[in-house]
Structure 1
Amino acid sequence: MLRYFISTFFVLNVFITKAQDKPIDLQAKDTVVYKQAYGLRFGIDLSRPLISVFEEEFTGFEIVGDYRLTQKYYIAAELGNE
């Protein structure tokens, strides 16, 4: 019985050491490609109405918007009064 155990151990040991010959790549490869969002954005300036609540003489509002043309360039616009 011991003879079969030792023989099996040596045969499996050969396969295990052969399987470890291939080097393991430790550098993770990111294959996810993120799409850049381009488009139109709108917003409002909330500080103007809040200031007009605390100061009776101040009235104003502001609306802003921009459009992303490329990764670096935008077209921006603001509309409002004080």
Structure 2
Amino acid sequence: MIRLQCAKLDSLFAKMYTVYILQSLKDGRTYIGYTNNLERRLNEHNSGKSKSTKYRVPFKLLFKEEFQTKRDAEKREI
């Protein structure tokens, strides 16, 4: 019983995945991605560390949606 309760608690604190949509303030184009750390990923995009977006910085966050599994986030991103 105790192990089952611990397993349920662990799932509550499990890593979440976020699908996000960014909009470039430079050209208005959007970018869709997913990550397990949205703050870090936004910093990477806005500091030019992402090859696919480095020439369109800065970005603003338009949308985010969280998922419990990477697979669900990947499916939503598409």
Q: What is the TM-score when the length of structure 2 is the normalising length?
A: 0.25
Identify, as 1 or 2, the structure richer in helix: 2
Task: Select the structure of larger CA radius of gyration.
Answer: 1
Q: What is the TM-score when the length of structure 1 is the normalising length?
A: 0.24
